[in-house]
């Protein structure tokens, strides 16, 4: 199974701290490097993580609050000056293209960069390996959540290949495509030698208040990366600013039957006391962790 690498470049909330930069996450899969949000200082975090920003293929913007996008102008300028040769796809919530246009008018851009801005909802990208979906979140600005969904694939049992003494030839490709083959004058049915490898789902949800539609969109995710800006005792503040408490995030994970919960977008009020956030979430959903800047997860 192809590895999925997730690099947490920034894990803080509106105001950065000594230990937490503004939010930004990089998902790497095969030849794709998908950046989710681009808070101030993101490209410096790339350097600290020994990652090349020119590897980015797509950028998913959740919404246009400063802590999620103020690193974007600098990043785009760096790409242009570094010989970025690909077409960069930038995805944003519906009805917000004017914000991107305004940002590009606020500074003098040097060089050339081939990029495309797309307002998205629902399924908006698909190839032979995976697809991307956008779903609405409940925030004070138009805001998207996103899901990376790997496609199910037929795999061939290595033990059966060996037992049938099948050669490594185009016949194996036919089997993976579900086609029966003839080998040594004997018909071999694809279903007798293949198995279905279930694709993985990773969902991102930040920033958002509590909304029931989120559960359906993150349902059965192998990994849910979600904000936990406040503790439950600050629920009134969370509601006012349309954010989540650690308990609410954990309840989403439990109700949506996700595999693992990763908490991020941590308020600076919990600097050096993040254990309180994690403890509250674990009471409801045991498979919860809280991440730090520059931490990486592979699965």
Residues marked active site are found at 67
**Helix (H), strand (E) at residue 126:** strand 122-126
Residue from 146, 150, 152, 171 nearest 161 by CA: 171
Distance CA 150, CA 132 (A): 9
CA atoms within 13 A on the CB side of 239: 5
| Separation of alpha carbons 112 and 252, rounded Å | 43
Return d(Cα 282, Cα 299) in angstroms, integer: 21
C-beta neighbour count of 236 within 10 angstroms: 8
In this structure, what token pair is assigned to residue 284?
Answer: 């409801």
């Amino acid at each position: 199974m192809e590895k999925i690498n997730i690099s947490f470049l920034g894990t803080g909330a509106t105001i950065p701290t000594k230990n937490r930069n503004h939010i930004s996450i990089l998902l790497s899969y095969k030849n794709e490097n998908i950046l989710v949000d681009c808070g101030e200082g993101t490209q410096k975090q790339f350097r600290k993580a020994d990652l090349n920003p020119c590897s980015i293929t797509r950028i998913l913007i959740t919404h246009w609050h400063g802590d999620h996008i103020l690193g974007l102008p600098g990043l785009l300028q760096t790409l242009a000056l570094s010989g970025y040769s690909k077409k960069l796809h930038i995805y944003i919530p519906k009805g917000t293209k004017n914000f991107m246009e305004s940002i590009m008018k606020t500074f003098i851009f040097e060089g050339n960069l081939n990029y495309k801005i797309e307002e998205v909802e629902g399924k908006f990208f698909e190839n032979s390996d995976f697809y991307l979906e956008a779903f609405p979140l409940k925030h004070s600005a138009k805001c998207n959540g996103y899901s990376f969904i790997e496609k199910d694939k037929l795999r061939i049992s290595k033990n059966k290949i060996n037992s049938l003494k099948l050669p490594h030839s185009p016949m194996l490709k036919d089997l993976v495509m579900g086609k029966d083959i003839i080998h040594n004058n004997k018909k071999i049915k694809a279903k007798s030698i293949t198995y279905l490898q279930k694709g993985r789902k990773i969902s991102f949800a930040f920033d958002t208040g509590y909304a029931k539609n989120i559960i359906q969109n993150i349902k059965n995710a192998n990994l849910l990366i979600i904000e936990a800006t406040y503790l439950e005792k600050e629920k009134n503040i969370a509601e006012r600013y349309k954010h989540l408490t650690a308990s609410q995030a954990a309840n989403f994970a439990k109700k949506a039957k996700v595999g693992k919960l990763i908490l991020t977008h941590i308020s600076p009020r919990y600097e050096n006391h993040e254990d309180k956030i994690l403890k509250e979430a674990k009471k409801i959903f045991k498979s919860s962790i809280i991440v730090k800047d520059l931490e990486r997860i592979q699965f």
